[in-house]
Structure 1
């Protein structure tokens, strides 16, 4: 079994976090998002990974190399992101026989991916709360016979989760016509597979697409909760670790620090003294958390500094951010409504009652800055001392 892993996209809905990093390479617990998918394919028995790359491709190549966990890796370049069939077509020259297609910005429970591989050809399915937002599977017993895109009145809540295993013959069916959206859709390839093969479906126990910043928080909540606590770094005897906490080799936790898991403190990070880290929190490589800081349920990416009496809650901070002393993130609306965020020009509900800010790489805040819930700071933003930021910048 070969696995085509789609990892070419920028992730415009994830901006500004993708200003310098492709969405599939954003951190989820101890590895990039797409590495969780690659690991699931390897656990399921894939013989080869074919990564379709495009935006910031070097980041993907550097991480996976020519061999990943003992499995050979090949690369195919998709210069323009013109749809899923277009992406798979970029990998066609590497395909020899049956092949899986997995999405580098989705998370799957690994056991279901193994079941998918064992029952090829097949497609993954999921029980959705709002099936009208997805492609709904048309089934005949255990067989899939079609997919109806976003029906107004779906007859079932069983929707397509995208991941699939296709017969080798499908390599020749990738030259589909452009859809109304102007893309080359893999669903058009699947229609022919449904017509010519008995296609099973594997119902996923858990699945999520990670397309927006608050979904990156949710992804980390999922994967951090699965970690077993361990201490390989330097933790003061006067620090307290509660629950599953991982302190990697080269990390330092100073006296007076309290860490409530699930939490991951990566290599080179330095926490404290007297800091409080709680919730599902990821502190990336080289992060600095200073005296009296509280960080709750957040993703803090590599090289970021949060010094001196600051509060960060339910937030995503990009790489090499520097918060001035006593920077405060507000993460709760006074009316208790879900926090909204602007995504590609539209105000969208995050669905989260507690949600802080999204901060792009290299941003710096002045001392005593206050950031309102749902605010997005673009990469390289600056704030002034004592400034209150209530709108995106």
Structure 2
């Protein structure tokens, strides 16, 4: 049985009050429409037709072209039925089932779509409606069921009788159709209504009037019914998605000390027995190994972290961190950072576009950029690589087992050999060979009693200023 999906993503989303097209607003780091496409792909839909309108170019640029994703343009927004009709040239001759789903429903899970399709096939239905039970169903169309639990009709909220208004089961706006019957029924839909629009819900009535079975699948989690039309609903979707993501990691053996204050985006991967402390934000394509300690108050984006690493009160972006490393507090690892195993990056250290070998240490108050640092190197407090001359960035190379003393400046391009020793306070402008000691600072001169002369001069100047 062929499975297809039509994703409705043509609405403007005026209530979002945003320059960004509605379905591109992110929920836990991913555009809403991407969550929806993940759900239908996870349910084995072979083709996904995205109906675009406002912001069509932005949607296509975000989702890409090719693979299972195709696009159809709804130039005028004339209702949900009209939107689905834009896929007719692409799908009307296909045999199979078609999911119709809105691109602003990011919480629908692939397991739910699969279960709805299974019910659809089991009951031999021509259409199946995804429904949910809400404590407050105001504003939603109600599902009226018959004695056999089959669907009799969908009644819009404004048309409900007192009895119908008390029904808590609502139409979520997600459907499963026999594909051929869907487009045959759409040909009969008219726009003779107050809005002058073609409604997809009319297809249900048409199919039913022709004697076709209509089924309904009641979703377990009512949150999956959330459609995002404004920033309030966006915040609610974010909250529910974050809770779902966090629980998934906990089930897989990750300890979240305070899940309510831990933000993990949808693509993040975390190994078992890792502990995440409060205030931690994990974004993008971040991957964390097992037995790590992350946080508190750390932010990792698009970074990989090896097993057994600790990161406290620090920020990483596009960094690769090996096993057994100790990062922070208050370190900043920028894009291009690659740390070997058992590396120590201490407080107020910034690393950028640099490879650091196993067992090396940059304990505190240092900047290392555009560098290659060997194994078992010690870079002292306040040392920096001066990699930028205002026009070009140059490389610093430091060999294995080298020692760079505190408050040293390494002026790139420069090479420090293996086992070399840079004396504290030096400004190194020339290469240092293996096992050499380099001193580059002016000889100290002490002037006896001169400090008192400076203070006396300062007092005289102060008195002269006050007398003026």
Same-fold status (TM-score > 0.5): yes
The C-alpha deviation readout for 1:198-240, integer Å capped at 9, x for no partner, is: 121111123211111021112112222333478999xxxxxx9
Corresponding position of 1:190: 204
Query: In the alignment, what sits opposite 1:39?
Result: 38
Question: Aligned in 2, Cα 1:173/1:248: closer, same or farther, shift over 3 Å?
Answer: closer
Measured after TM superposition, the shift of residue 132 of structure 1 is 3.9
| Cα gap change, 1:210 to 1:284, in 2 (>3 Å) | farther
Q: Equivalent residues in 2 for 1:7-86 (5 A)?
A: 7-16=9-18, 19=19, 21-67=20-66, 72-86=68-82
- 1:226-305, aligned counterparts within 5 Å? 226-227=244-245, 228=249, 242=277, 245-248=281-284, 258-259=296-297, 266-267=301-302
Does 1 or 2 have the higher relative contact order (CA < 8 Å, sep 6+)?
A: 1
1:159 paired with 2:194, answer no
Runs of 4+ in 1 over 4 A off after TM superposition: 229-233, 247-251, 274-277
- Per-residue displacement from partner, 1:176-210 (whole Å, max 9, x unpaired)? 22121221111111111233321211111232111
Name the residue aligned to 2:139.
133
Which residues of 2 match residues 311-350 of structure 1 at below 5 A?
A: none
1:224 aligned counterpart, secondary structure: helix
Structure 2 counterpart SS, 1:193: helix
User: Could you tell me how far apart the structure 2 residues matched to 1:284 and 1:214 are?
Assistant: 30
Match of 1:174 in 2: 186
Per-residue CA deviations over 1:324-370 (Å, capped at 9, x if unaligned) read xxxxxxxxxxxxxxxxxxxxxxxxxxxxxxxxxxxxxxxxxxxxxxx
CA distance in 2, matches of 1:220, 1:116: 24
Q: Distance in 1 between matches of 2:13 and 2:130?
A: 23
8 Å CA contact 2:286, 2:300 repeated in 1: no
SS at 2:297 equivalent? strand
In 2, Cα distance between the equivalents of 1:266 and 1:132? 40
Q: CA deviation at 1:130?
A: 2.5
1:101 aligns to what SS in structure 2?
Answer: strand
Write the distance in 2 (CA, Å) between the matches of 1:185 and 1:284: 46
Q: Using the TM superposition, give the Cα deviation of residue 123 of structure 1 relative to its aligned residue in structure 2, in angstroms.
A: 0.7
Q: What's the RMSD between the two structures over aligned residues? A: 3.5
**In the alignment, what sits opposite 2:450?**
none
2:239 to 217, 221, 230: 221
Aligned counterparts of 1:188 and 1:220: Cα–Cα separation in 2: 32
SS at match of 2:78: coil
The equivalent of 2:404 in structure 1 is none
Q: How does 1:84-123 map to 2 (within 5 A)?
A: 84-95=80-91, 96-97=94-95, 98-106=97-105, 107-120=107-120, 121-123=127-129
Residues 265 and 180 of structure 1, relative CA distance in 2, 3 Å threshold: farther
User: Across the two proteins, how many residue pairs are aligned to each other?
Assistant: 259
Distance 1:81 1:110 in 2: 28
More helix by share: 2
What stretches of structure 2 of length at least 5 have no aligned partner?
A: 121-126, 255-263, 269-274, 288-294, 304-311, 319-329, 331-468
1:241 CA drift (Å): 5.0
Per-residue deviation, 1:267: 4.0
Bigger radius of gyration: 2
Normalised to the residue count of structure 1, the TM-score between the two structures is 0.58
TM-score by length of 2: 0.50
Match of 1:316 in 2: none
8 Å CA contact 1:99–1:165 kept in 2: the answer is: yes
SS at match of 1:184: coil
CA distance in 2, matches of 1:166, 1:100: 6
**1:158, 1:250 → 2: CA distance?**
39
CA contact (8 A) 2:5 2:98 kept: yes
Displacement of 1:61: 1.2
